[in-house]
Structure 1
Amino acid sequence: MNKPRVVVEPPDSRGLRQVSTGGKPVGSAWSLQGLRKVLSRLGYPEDLDVEDRSSISWLGGDSGTWPDRTWRRRSTIALMMAGLLGSMALLVVVGIPDAIGALTFAGRVTGFLFAFAGVAQGVAALAALDYWGKRQLKLSGAVILLGAFIALATNGLLLFMWLQEREYTPYVLTYLPLWCWSLWALRLLVREKAWRGVPHPKQFAAGVTATTLLAAANLAYSALYQPTSAPVLFDLNVKFGTPQLDIERPIIHVPVTFRARNSGQIPAYITSDGYGIYGVSAKHSSDGSGLLEWRKMMDATSDGSKVGRYVKSPTRETISAARFYGPGNWLEPGEQYTQERVIQVPKSAKYDTLEADLTLTLMRKDRGRIDEEFASPHYSWHKSDRQFYCPPVECVDQIINRGRVLHNNNIINVTRQPRYVISYYGWTGSNAELQSYVLSYEPRDVLSFSEEMAEEDKRERKRYGVAEAKAMAAVPFAQLLRANEK
């Protein structure tokens, strides 16, 4: 057999021994069995005497020097891949929804960066097989180091955001252990100087740092700055039209137009809405003593503007009331919704004025999304709807809407509990009552009110930019009568 002499190099730090012939590497082996496989590929007989110095030259040890700890090396590979793949799955789950459907461009960029970072960790998991294997790729160590750094930064960010509220979410059971894992992985990789083989290590580190800063800046912009920099602006308008006298009956038909327009740059949900049309009458006070009743008026209406010097004991009757656009609907910037109503008022009615008002409670759409369930009403008088049913003798009849609120940023969704929005439209017999709450918990009894709900709502309203808008209009009833007499 005329074959070149085989040289078995000394074991490296992991126990792997390189095999060469004629000064050229031809393979590597972890054990004597692995060496025989290399020799077999080179055409040497399977029963070759490895102690024959004329065939094999041993450097840094003999045929019994195989320091590889297989179980330890494979355990390291398994643990490294498990952490990288787990972090990859988490980042993809967090990033994809924002990358596809975030409401802002910055939010989509942040989602894309998270998803891309997840893909990079998937590549790093594959590189772990090579790095703790035969290291056929020079950059495998650097790729794993990058993956571990991404895991430390992203899971550290998620953990930091969770610590701000410390609300339980199942995701905390992933990014908390993954953050601890990333510390272990980085310590191991730094100890082994995994960056060796990178052509320009300083430029590599600068690129990683720049990418991290870009992701942090996009997150801060989309989650903090942008949702507070532009206000929600709505124009509400209520207008009485030209009345018409019924040709057959002594009734006046009065058109009323209600309009809401989003004049700002931020889309907004309607969480509660309603309009009312009222007939107002009062006794005449020729002696000017009407102002003496201001205390009585404040107790009755909480509105001092209703006090007048020459009127006493005003009364207000509801002519018509209903919801306007409906909870769960929203208006984009520049969009408007108009509703026209025609009410019938007896010509003989003893009203002094007709009044109409429109009230909307709004929630910024760039801070959260309300699910479709919120648009479905529940009626407190329906026995079939057990959770919302309340006997009329115990409760005021109410229309209830309830749904979940998802945060505007999926990064926040995995570090916070879901929020709930609940809206009430109740009828007291004289006017409609509108209420809406945003809560960090799902109320068990949706028909009971408490100070806890009020305090919780106050805090969450600031978080989601909840605000109320109202418009009113009034017309003298005598003017309507004269318009029909001409």
Structure 2
Amino acid sequence: MTSGPGGNSGATDEGVTGAPGGNSGATVMERRGWPKSKWVEMAAVVLVLLLTAVPVGWCGREDFTGALTFTGRMTGAALMVVALIMFLGIAAVVDYWVRGPISNLGVVALFSTGVALLANALLLIQTWSDGERAIFPMLFGSLTVGSILAIVVVWRALDEIPAPKRVAAALIVSTILGIGNFSYQNLYQPYRRGAKPLVHLTVGKAVLNRDGKAFAVPVDIKLENHSDVGFYVLGTEFHAMGERAPVSKSDRLYRQWRIDAERWGKYREKLPLTRRDVYQPGQLVAAQPWIAPGNWIEANDEAVARTVVQLPIDTPYDHLAFYATANIARKDRLGLGRLEQDQYSWRGAKLPKWAQEKGGGDSIVYRFDMKENNAIDRHTRKPRCVTIYWRFNVHGVDVAESITRKGEENRVNTAIEDSDARERYGLIDVLAGPIEQTLWEIKSRR
């Protein structure tokens, strides 16, 4: 009889002490929103933050130390701050999951996951629209989804959010700053009003030599950059064309003008339609580069060169026409590396179809390594090179450039690809001429 009550009493005590204790623990777990696999969730949140912080911090460091513009370096600094927030978020997540409600770092964990979501979403947009490696949109797309889930997990784990208005304000400000910087870098800068240097040609007076059997014409060439950005010089050329233009004794017929106009599509020179002058296609008498490929001109600077064109006094030409061009690229859009090679068409250099002269001729080929102007594009786009073709024949000279992926130098770009490359990298062709000078006065001194 005594054992029964004792047993009953023991059983009752066990039920009283055990059940309430178990119910209390379950209630706390349910209230805090922690599932039984809380440590797996913690590891998942930490992994999302870590996989986001490492590439963001790496690209930020590269841009901060090597971006081509001040804005790019400030973007690098911002990316490094974002990465630091996420590293602090990792510590906050671990601390909150281990210590529970007594930790006051839950809000830091929530804020860091929000920053991770913003960073991954912006990187997904950029790599999807501008990248060329499929792995990066897949990576940042997965991290974007992971960041959303991480926010949900951390939100459920919090008992309450202290100062929710301040947390919301911090998230909103971070979002505005991130979107603003992204828009400035990817929307405003590429399409803002472009700068364009000028090439000036100044032709001096022809001068006879001592024995009167030859003469020389001095020519000054100046590249002026009045903009606030620097430019790489991809290629330059100066050339002089000798023109024969005998005067007809009678007016030329209208159909002869048509014949002259048809020549405009065959030669680089556009000879005028005249009533009495019978212009013949010009012939090259002198040509040379006047700035070596790979050099550059800084903002608000100028480069000057002088050359001399010499001819015998009994030259058959009636006029000289002078031309100069400079093919340049903005220094804030690309980085020009070392000269990889220079080749010659007459020694077997391969040329794309568009660079081959229709009427015969030769080309000198320069090829430079190239880098993008920011770390994200350098890692998500395929490496490229800049190829310059210095082309010449008896009817003139010109310079053409092409930006292609490495290994595809001889591939013919589409018109859209060429247009996109010119816009993206700030490619500009600056032309001067023709500057015509008659030779009648100097030849009359014979």
TM-score, structure 1 normalization: 0.75
1:299-378 equivalences in 2 (<5 Å): 299-302=262-265, 305-366=271-332, 368-373=333-338, 376-378=341-343
Whether contact under 8 Å (2:127, 2:136) holds in the other structure is no
Give a deviation string over 1:85-112, Cα, whole Å, max 9, x none: 1111111122223323334433332221
Whether contact under 8 Å (2:314, 2:443) holds in the other structure is no
Whether contact under 8 Å (1:329, 1:375) holds in the other structure is no
User: Separation in 2 of the partners of 1:71 and 1:396?
Assistant: 78
Check if 1:276 corresponds to 2:239: yes
Check if 1:217 corresponds to 2:183: no
1:29 alignment partner in structure 2: none
SS at match of 2:239: strand
1:15 alignment partner in structure 2: none
1:247 alignment partner in structure 2: 210
Please identify which structure carries the higher helix content. 2
User: Separation in 2 of the partners of 1:453 and 1:377?
Assistant: 25
Check if 1:164 corresponds to 2:129: yes
Q: Could you tell me how far 1:120 is from its partner in structure 2?
A: 0.9
User: Separation in 2 of the partners of 1:109 and 1:469?
Assistant: 32
User: Separation in 2 of the partners of 1:128 and 1:380?
Assistant: 64
Whether contact under 8 Å (1:104, 1:222) holds in the other structure is no
Whether contact under 8 Å (1:421, 1:437) holds in the other structure is yes
1:166-185 equivalences in 2 (<5 Å): 167-185=132-150
Q: Could you tell me how far 1:228 is from its partner in structure 2?
A: 2.8
1:9 alignment partner in structure 2: none
1:478 alignment partner in structure 2: 440
> Could you say what the CA RMSD is over the residues aligned between the two structures, in angstroms?
3.5
1:122 counterpart letter in structure 2: F
Give a deviation string over 1:39-72, Cα, whole Å, max 9, x none: xxxxxxxxxxxxxx9xxx999527xx89999993
Check if 1:127 corresponds to 2:87: no
2:4 alignment partner in structure 1: none
Larger mean Cα displacement after TM superposition, 285-294 or 467-476: 285-294
1:12-161 equivalences in 2 (<5 Å): 60-61=20-21, 72-135=37-100, 138-161=103-126
2:141 counterpart letter in structure 1: L
Q: Could you tell me how far 1:224 is from its partner in structure 2?
A: 2.0
Whether contact under 8 Å (1:162, 1:415) holds in the other structure is yes
Whether contact under 8 Å (2:57, 2:79) holds in the other structure is yes
Q: Could you tell me how far 1:220 is from its partner in structure 2?
A: 1.6
1:459 alignment partner in structure 2: 420
Larger mean Cα displacement after TM superposition, 412-421 or 139-148: 412-421
Larger mean Cα displacement after TM superposition, 164-173 or 87-96: 164-173
1:236 alignment partner in structure 2: 199
Check if 1:261 corresponds to 2:200: no
Give a deviation string over 1:271-310, Cα, whole Å, max 9, x none: 3321111111122212121764222223323465522211
1:196-215 equivalences in 2 (<5 Å): 196=161, 198=162, 200-215=163-178
Whether contact under 8 Å (1:294, 1:304) holds in the other structure is no
Check if 1:288 corresponds to 2:251: yes
Larger mean Cα displacement after TM superposition, 171-180 or 351-360: 171-180
Q: Could you tell me how far 1:445 is from its partner in structure 2?
A: 5.4
Q: 1:137 to 1:466 in 2, by over 3 A?
A: farther
2:408 to 444, 460, 469: 444
Check if 1:190 corresponds to 2:136: no
Using the aligned pairs only, state the percent identity. 23
Give a deviation string over 1:310-329, Cα, whole Å, max 9, x none: 11142312111122323333
1:42 alignment partner in structure 2: none
Q: Could you tell me how far 1:167 is from its partner in structure 2?
A: 3.2
2:408 counterpart letter in structure 1: R
Q: Could you tell me how far 1:412 is from its partner in structure 2?
A: 4.3
User: Separation in 1 of the partners of 2:351 and 2:49?
Assistant: 45
1:3 alignment partner in structure 2: none
1:34 alignment partner in structure 2: none
Unaligned runs of 5+ in 1: 1-52
Corresponding residue pairs, total: 417
1:479 counterpart letter in structure 2: E
Whether contact under 8 Å (2:281, 2:395) holds in the other structure is no
Q: Could you tell me how far 1:184 is from its partner in structure 2?
A: 1.5
Q: Could you tell me how far 1:183 is from its partner in structure 2?
A: 1.6
Q: Could you tell me how far 1:136 is from its partner in structure 2?
A: 8.2
Instruction: Report 1 or 2 for greater relative contact order, CA contacts < 8 Å, sequence distance ≥ 6.
Output: 2
Q: 1:308 to 1:187 in 2, by over 3 A?
A: same
Q: Could you tell me how far 1:155 is from its partner in structure 2?
A: 0.8
Give a deviation string over 1:351-371, Cα, whole Å, max 9, x none: 2111110112333333x2133
SS at match of 1:117: helix
User: Separation in 2 of the partners of 1:133 and 1:358?
Assistant: 72
Whether contact under 8 Å (1:279, 1:355) holds in the other structure is yes
Unaligned runs of 5+ in 2: 1-12
Whether contact under 8 Å (2:50, 2:86) holds in the other structure is yes
User: Separation in 1 of the partners of 2:351 and 2:318?
Assistant: 44
SS at match of 2:132: coil
2:10 alignment partner in structure 1: none
Whether contact under 8 Å (2:283, 2:394) holds in the other structure is no
SS at match of 2:224: strand
SS at match of 1:124: helix
Q: 1:304 to 1:290 in 2, by over 3 A?
A: farther
